[in-house]
Structure 1
Amino acid sequence: MNWILNCLVVEHDWRLTLLAAAVCVVGLATCITLIGMARRGGQRTKIAYGAAAGLVGGLGVWATHFLAMLGYRADALIRYAAGETLLSLGIVVAGMLLGVAVALNGGSRLTRGLVAILAASSVAAMHFVGMSALHIEGGAIAWNIPFAVGAVAVSMALALCTALWIKRDGWWRIPGNTTFAVLSVVSLHFGGMQAMEIVPDPSSVLSASLITESGLLVWVVGGATVVVMIAAFVTVVGLWGRTTALGHLREAIDAMPDGLGFYDSDDRLLIWNARYAEVNPEVAPALAVGVRFRDMLQLGLDQGLYEDAIGREQEWMQERLTARRSLSNSMEQQIAGNRWLRVQDRRTSNGGIVTVVNDITDLKRDAVSLAEARDAAEQASRAKSEFLANMSHEIRTPLNGVIGLTQALARTPLASDQREILDLIQSSGHTLQTLLSDILDLARVESGRLEIADEVFDLPRAVNDAAQLYREPAADKGLQFFVEIEPEAAIWVRGDVVRVKQVLTNLVSNAVKFTSTGFVRMTASVGKDRSGAPILRFTVEDTGVGFDAAAKARLFTRFEQADGTITRRFGGTGLGLAICRQLADMMGGELDCESEPEGGSAFILTLPLHAADAPSAPAVPTQTVVDPTEQRIRVLVADDHPTNRKVVELILSQAPVDLIQAENGAEALEAARAQAFDIILMDMQMPVMDGLTAVREIRTHEIASGREPAPIVMLTANALPEHVAQAQAAGADRHLAKPFDAAELLALVAELGGEKQQSAAAA
């Protein structure tokens, strides 16, 4: 350390030494700054800034060296050789340019270490070449090799310190790298000067062609001037870029659609945009640099802006300020005049607060409008459901009279022409019943009110039940009718047995309807889908009229059939297949078909296979079996429509039944209290007391009197699933929708009435 101080203080002019140090700092800082600008620029600016960085760095180090040499105090006359002086400048500029090029093509520590070595090596080469340009009157230069090597090693080590940073970006990058670079240059120069010794050499005579110290000073001052000019240019460009960036940022802030205000750590306003004043017009005149947020709140409170603060102003202000001091806060604030603002506060790392304000008055109004529209839609949906239920009831009630009376009439002696007329009436009635069911199913599917059940059922039985209905119509047309269930499909499964049977029944019905000769076959099998999951596959084949590809494309569309003549030839509305496909989709399956004109058709229904265990059979108690034909079955029928009561009376007149009639639920309740019945047939919609209320009252009376519950069947035109659920909840045992089949009613009365009598006999 002493030798360095001695070299600086004793052997050098301190004024030129300080000037050399200043030139070194400015030159290297400018070089590092230009490298950073080159990294951030495009390809062209990258080359320009990189070249300027290498030139400024080389000039700065070269000027530093020769300024320090000019400050060196020697007893003899000194001159400088122009060739070696210029060569030293070329070496250091070339080395710096090479180092900058490497730095711009990589950012790893290894690359930065290589850049440091290149720069330090070029500086060392420049130093010793520059020293070779030194000529002394009557003397020669000798070197202390260990000192020289040590100076170069220290310079290299300090230069490598610039590669220590984990991140190359940051505010400390320029001052940190500049410090190490300057120390590297200074240690090399003054360490090298300490390694230099001047020995007497009488033969050393200075030539007139050598550069004097004043001439060298002009060179060095010129180089230093270039460095200072470039440094000034870089500073101006940087300040201009910063000002431009701030201007762009200010323009961007002003153009924001949201109001933005920035407050310092003391909650004083620093920056805001025009929108911030627009969404706060009441406090806009008070907006100024340094105004406190609390004062702005107080101004709003004085004007009565915040409706939720009226009567509790100070408490409200404290709550607002407390919420604002949190790291992040968001709130919706109602302003006088039925305006709404969404206010978001975000705290910065330095304790400042960024406040973003949006006017959401239109959003609030839209939300109210949407809520009103939703309520109106829900009301319309309820009205639609009520209308659907009422239409179902009002259509089924007279239709029940038509079908029931024709069935009762069919059991009486009729002439052949009367029988033909009656058959036409029955066929029309059944067509109306099918059409009504299809329309109601379609309405429930579209409204999302149709639910798919999940229950265990016997698959072979369901398939046979669906096919059995059309075995006789097929035989009447002379068709062969096959039902094939593969052994793998003879299992119990989980699903909606009602909807499965509905789809299969519709497919079999169409097959029988559209086939004049040949056969109809329904098969059930087990397979796998494309992903390998197990599926159920139902195929309904026929040798009927068939259809082409164009007809297939519209076959599953509502109110569409294969061609326009089908409705006239075979009847139907074209709703059945559309509903079947929708039901298949709701059950997680698919419905498709294959056909060709006059070549028959094949409809394929695939459903996910959810195998289940067969339920355990309930234990059959030993009891006395009573033949229902030997005893009269006591039946109570409650219906406000006289035609429906007459239909039930005519149908049940063929069985051993004692029938009691009631016109409303109140009369039915009185009759049930007066005597016990083997079965009660209850309508749902009746005056005075509706059927559901009557069922609940009857069940309450049975419990209170200790009487055994009578089987209750809801015999009603309310046939929607929610009606069935309501009846079960009230206490009904069965639900038979109007219009009903006479045989179905007789079987139901015989079953439930017989069970009641057997239970009474066993007791």
Structure 2
Amino acid sequence: MSFNKLLEEQLKKYLPDAALLEQPAFKRFLEAVNESYESYERDRMLSGDAVSITASEQRMRLALQTIEDNVWEYDFEQRKMVFAQVNNSVLKLRRLEYVDKENEEWWREIYEEDLHIAVDTFRKYKQGLISKHSVEYRMHCADGSIKWILNRGGVIKRDSEGQVLKVVGAITDIDALKNIQAELRTTANRLSNLLASLQSGVLVEDEARRIVMANQQFCSLLSIPAPPEALIGLDCSQTVDQSKHLFKNPELFLNRVAEILEDRQPVTGEELEMADGRILERSYIPVFLDNEHKGHLWKYNDITKRKQSETIIRLQEEKYRNIIANMNLGLTEVDLEERILYANQSFCEMSGYSLDELMNKVAPTLFMGKGNEHFTREKLQLRAQGISDAYELAVRNKKGQLKWWLVSGAPRYNDANELVGSIGIHLDITSHKQLELALMEARQAAEESAHAKETFLANMSHEIRTPISAILGMSRQLGETSLDQEQSLFLDNINKASEHLLVIINDILDISKIEAGMLQLENIDFRPAELVEQAITLMTLRAQEKGLLLSMKMEAGPWPVIMGDPFRLKQVLLNLLSNSIKFTEKGGVHITFNTMSWRGNQLTAVITVADTGIGMDEATLKNIFQNFTQGDKTTARKYGGTGLGMAISKQLVEMMGGTIQLQSKPGAGTSVVLRIPFDIGKEKNIPVKEKQIIDSSILKDCRVLLAEDNEINRLIACRILEKHGLVVTAVNNGQEALNAMAKQPFDVVLMDMQMPVMDGLEATAFIRANISRDIPVIALTANAIKGENEKCIQAGMNDYISKPFEPSTLISTIAHLVGKQLK
């Protein structure tokens, strides 16, 4: 056996860690020692022992100098630590020998916090507790650095009593190893914490299928009662066999594991059905190092909730797809370039295309043709902002037919919440659109009809009221002449007949205006007591003529001012009082005015008109509010009238927000009850009528231009004006009026609204633009349609008078305007 082998055997006995012999430095050291020994043997045989020993020592020293570890020897008797002279030693020692009574100088080379390790090791040698050692601690180097070292050694000499005399060893630099170990520990801790916190179950096997690592989630998923640490080193094949009963199909599970291990190919997202109903997702990764198989990594996830959610979502999606399909709604999905990715059967039927024909086609181009880039860009911008909208779209189907779709578009996102396109729900509204267009045409026709009706009413009002105005005017003029008793009787009947005809015409115009939506209510402040008294006053004479008692009663206490339309309310009261007087032969008519309820700033007035007249049966009551309806033919013949009064009253009351009810029996009279809400008004807001006093001196020699195409009305107006000292120039139309004004000045112009050649509006507009902006122009109109006065004012007229007019009204209006001009 070589010296090297003998030395190695001896070192194995004393070194604490046999692995030290495998270190490169020790390998080189042993080789150098062996070479020195062989050289020593040669020298001894050639030159003698003394020379050989000296050469051997030198070679030994050279061998020690070739290694990087610090080799040392400690002598317990001399308390001396000796290091071999090493040029490239791991420690840059300040000295090679340390001699001290208590080794204090050597201890100072050791890092303070680790000093106890070295002291304790030497103490154990002295006490005979150990024969070799291997410890790690830090030391100070000559360059000021601190290094981790591995100090290993053993006893090489004892005395006769077995006490340790010498210990030899070596110091190895493990500073880099310690840093690596620290990093490995940090990495291991991170991996351990990561595996522990993972929601996935992780299992790592080596190439022999022994468990290297597992986490708690893996144990929980596979119902393993032991902690993960207890699995390390176990045969995984046995663990798999013990867990197979957890799976719905155990044999399939085992066979699949064997198949995966044999193929050694990555597997991801494989789903496993468990016996308890859970669903696990398994992934497998084979581990290779330098193309050499080193083991397997298995990952398990419980995806039960996810699968349940996916199932619910799928069922809901199918449900809503079916709902959409059953509702004949077309569903499409498009990408960011409007290319069709999906379309349901309903959409295919709507468009006339098959699914294959639609896929990857640009939807706007397919159905709307080119030139719609702006529309497409606008919708894409809305989707990019997360905005959904609905819009109507005119499209062409496969046959080229024009269709209308109602489209509801919404942005479509992927799982990463990134916009990937749009979803569209389409409803074919072609028939509705056609109906809408038809309705628009019908509406236009209705508006044209309403306009025609308005024009007709205006013309009828003018054409009928003009002759009535002439009749009443001539009757008044005739009444101012000397008449005998019989002539006065005839004239009185003419006046009554004319006034009755005027009432009928007014009723017809009112009901027509209501039906045409042209009648508007005022909303002004008024005193209700005054209104009722005015109605009673107007009807008292008619009641007295029939010998009837007309009475009224208002609720006690001061009545507040209320807001509404007093003129239309008076019209309703006059209609009701007129009817009651007309159909009552004896007894009387009684009107009461009470309040039913107060709510905040509003009250409900209850007005009752009761009579002792002929009454009505149930059949008549049902139809009493219909236009042109009366009790029976005998009623119309005996009492006259148009049958419009009650219909007008009902519609006016309902326009005020109120109700009207009738109670009646044949021969027992009739009671009409009105319930109308009114807002509370203010005394200061009641309109005050200006008292106009006619000053004859103002009107004397006043030059009046009268434009009137009706000869009788022209004659009547001239006589009224001339009686008050006015100088009148009469013409037939607006053009003649302009011609007259060009020849001479006038103080006031009376302008009929409807005349041939040029009407009053055109003539007035010309006057204001070309002749005078100041001369008073008064409209004379037989048109009682709402809005006629606005037309007059807009044309530049100062005021208007409706025909037939009272002479006093005409004179006072002229005096009022002329008086303003003279100031």
Matched residue, 2:368? 306
Task: Give, in angstroms, the shift of residue 386 of structure 1.
Answer: 1.1
- CA apart distance, 1:531: 10
Per the TM alignment, residue 527 of structure 1 is displaced from its structure 2 partner at its CA by 4.1
User: Equivalences for 1:32-431 in 2 at 5 Å?
Assistant: 170-171=305-306, 257-262=328-333, 271-281=342-352, 286-287=357-358, 292-294=360-362, 300=366, 306-307=368-369, 309-310=370-371, 327=386, 328=388, 330=390, 332-335=393-396, 337-346=401-410, 347-350=412-415, 351=420, 353-431=422-500
Q: Compare CA radii of gyration and give the structure with the larger one.
A: 2
Aligned to 1:660: 729
**What SS does the aligned partner of 1:515 have?**
coil
Aligned to 1:162: none
Distance across 2 between alignment mates of 1:621 and 1:15: 115
1:501 CA drift (Å): 1.7
3-state SS of paired residue (1:592): strand
Q: What's the counterpart of residue 520 of structure 1?
A: 589
**Contact 1:460–1:489 at 8 Å: present in 2 too?**
no
Equivalent residue for 2:241, pick from 8, 15, 19: 19
Q: 5+ unaligned residues in a row in structure 1: which ranges? A: 31-52, 59-164, 176-237
What does residue 803 of structure 2 align with?
A: 738
Which residue of 519, 532, 537 maps to 1:463?
532
Residues 675 and 465 (structure 1), Cα distance of their counterparts in 2 relative to 1, 3 Å cut: farther
Stretches of structure 2 lacking an aligned partner (at least 5 in a row): 1-212, 215-225, 253-272, 278-301
DSSP-derived class of the 2:572 partner: helix
2:650 to 562, 573, 581: 581
Alpha-carbon distance in structure 2 between the residues aligned to 1:651 and 1:498: 29
Shift of 1:375: 1.6
Shift in alpha-carbon separation, 1:754–1:242, aligned structure 2, 3 A = closer
> Cα 1:404–1:273, aligned 2, differ >3 Å: closer, same or farther?
same
More strand by share: 2
Aligned residues: 547
Q: CA deviation at 1:445?
A: 0.9
Residues 615-655 of structure 1 deviation map (CA, whole Å, 9 limit, x = unaligned): 47999999999455994665443211112212334555655
Q: Which residue of 2 aligns with 1:719?
A: 784
Task: Please name the residue that 2:794 is paired with.
Answer: 729
The equivalent of 1:438 in structure 2 is 507
- Give, as a single letter, the amino acid of the residue that structure 1 aligns with 2:305: G
Matches within 5 A, 1:504-519: 504-519=573-588
Q: CA deviation at 1:510?
A: 1.9
For residues 645-694 of structure 1, give each alpha carbon's deviation from its aligned partner in whole angstroms, at most 9, with x where no partner exists: 12334555655444332211233345556666665432101123321233
* Residue 451 (1) aligns with residue 520 (2): yes
Question: Does the C-alpha gap of structure 1 residues 694 and 497 become closer, same or farther in structure 2, counting only changes over 3 Å?
Answer: farther
Q: Report the residue type matching 2:331 in the other structure.
A: L
Structure with more helix by fraction = 1
Q: For residue 189 of structure 1, what is the aligned residue in structure 2?
A: none
Question: How far apart in 1 are the matches of 2:493 and 2:678?
Answer: 42
Deviation, 1:584, is 0.7
Instruction: Decide whether the 8 Å contact of 2:526 with 2:686 is kept in 1.
Output: no
> Is the deviation greater in 479-488 or in 617-626?
617-626
1:320–1:430: structure 2 CA closer, same or farther, 3 Å change rule? Answer: closer
Cα deviation digits, residues 368-427 of structure 1 (max 9, x gap): 333222222211221121112112212222222233223333333344444444344333
The answer as to whether partners of 2:692 and 2:812 remain within 8 angstroms in 1 is no
Give the secondary-structure state (helix, strand or coil) at the position aligned to 1:606.
Answer: strand
Identify the range of structure 1 (722-731 vs 434-443) with the bigger mean alpha-carbon deviation: 722-731
> 2:249, 2:448 → 1: CA distance?
81
Q: Is the 8 A contact 2:405 2:426 kept in 1?
A: yes
The answer to whether the 8 A contact 1:488-1:526 is kept is no
Name the CA distance, whole Å, in 1 between partners of 2:744 and 2:814. Answer: 15
- Residue of structure 2 aligned with 1:503, choices 572, 581, 597: 572
Matching residue of 1:217: none
- What is the identity, as a one-letter code, of the residue corresponding to 1:385? E
Q: Cα 1:250–1:660, aligned 2, differ >3 Å: closer, same or farther?
A: closer
Q: Does 1 or 2 have the higher relative contact order (CA < 8 Å, sep 6+)? A: 1
Distance 1:601 1:650, change over 3 A: farther
- Aligned partner letter, 1:384: K
Distance 1:445 1:437, change over 3 A: same
Could you state the TM-score of these two structures normalised by the residue count of structure 2?
Answer: 0.56
Note the C-alpha offset of 1:453. Answer: 1.1
1:342 CA displacement: 4.5
Residue type of the alignment partner of 1:272: A
> Secondary structure, in 3 states, of the residue corresponding to 1:721?
coil
- Residue 258 (structure 1) shift: 3.1
Q: Which segment is superposed worse, 573-582 or 627-636?
A: 627-636
After superposition, the Cα gap between the structure-2 partners of 1:487 and 1:735, relative to the gap in structure 1 and judged at 3 Å, is farther
- Residue 557 of structure 1: CA displacement? 2.4
SS at match of 2:306: coil
**Rounded Cα–Cα distance in structure 2 between residues aligned with 1:559 and 1:620:** 36
One-letter code of the match for 2:402?
Answer: N
Shift of 1:580: 0.6
Task: Confirm or deny that 1:747 pairs with 2:818.
Answer: no
The residue type paired with residue 661 of structure 1 is A
Partner secondary structure for residue 662 of structure 2: strand
Residue 490 of structure 1: CA displacement? 5.2
Report what 2:714 is aligned to. Answer: 645
* Residue 508 of structure 1: how far off its partner (Å): 2.1
For the Cα contact (< 8 Å) 1:454–1:494, is it kept in 2?
yes
TM-score (ref. length: structure 1): 0.60
Contact 1:253 1:273 in 2 (8 A): no
- Shift of the 284–736 alpha-carbon distance from structure 1 to 2, 3 Å rule, reads same
- Choose the corresponding residue for 1:611, options 674, 677, 680: 680
Q: Deviations over 1:172-192 (max 9, x none)?
A: 7799xxxxxxxxxxxxxxxxx
1:359–1:535 CA distance, 2 compared to 1 (3 A) = closer
> 1:433–1:739: 8 Å Cα contact kept in structure 2?
no
CA apart distance, 1:505: 1.7
Distance in 1 separating the partners of 2:670 and 2:810: 41
Relative to structure 1, the CA distance from residue 384 to residue 562 in structure 2 (aligned partners, 3 Å threshold; closer, same or farther) is same
Contact between 2:395 and 2:404, CA under 8 Å: does it hold in 1? yes
Deviates more, 1:677-686 or 1:381-390: 677-686
What whole-Å deviation, never above 9, does each CA across 1:59-91 have from its counterpart, x for those lacking one?
xxxxxxxxxxxxxxxxxxxxxxxxxxxxxxxxx
**CA contact 1:628–1:754 (8 Å) conserved in 2:** no
Contact 2:764–2:796, Cα closer than 8 Å, also in 1: yes
Give the residue type in structure 2 aligned to 1:430: E
**What is the aligned partner in structure 1 of residue 32 from structure 2?**
none
State the match for 2:543 in structure 1: 474
Report the CA distance shift for 1:493/1:754 in structure 2 as closer, same or farther (over 3 A).
Answer: same
What letter is aligned with 1:640?
D
CA distance in 1, matches of 2:550, 2:305: 88
Q: 8 Å contact 2:703–2:728 — kept in the other structure? A: yes
Q: State the Cα RMSD in Å.
A: 4.8
Distance 2:377 2:561 in 1: 69
The answer on whether the counterparts of 2:409 and 2:425 sit within 8 Å (CA) in structure 1 is yes
SS at match of 1:448: coil
Residues of 2 paired with 1:650 and 1:621: CA distance?
A: 27
CA distance 1:521–1:731, change in 2 (3 Å): farther
Task: Find out whether 1:590 has 2:654 as its counterpart.
Answer: no
Aligned 8 A contact 1:678 1:756 in 2: no
Aligned partner of residue 305 in structure 2, secondary structure: coil
Quick one: structure 1 residues 465 and 693, their matched pair in 2 at CA, closer, same or farther if it must change by over 3 Å? Answer: farther
Task: Give the letter aligned to residue 338 of structure 1.
Answer: L
Contact 1:678 1:752 in 2 (8 A): no
Report the CA distance shift for 1:657/1:265 in structure 2 as closer, same or farther (over 3 A).
closer
Distance 2:305 2:324 in 1: 25
d(CA) in 1 for partners of 2:726, 2:228: 133
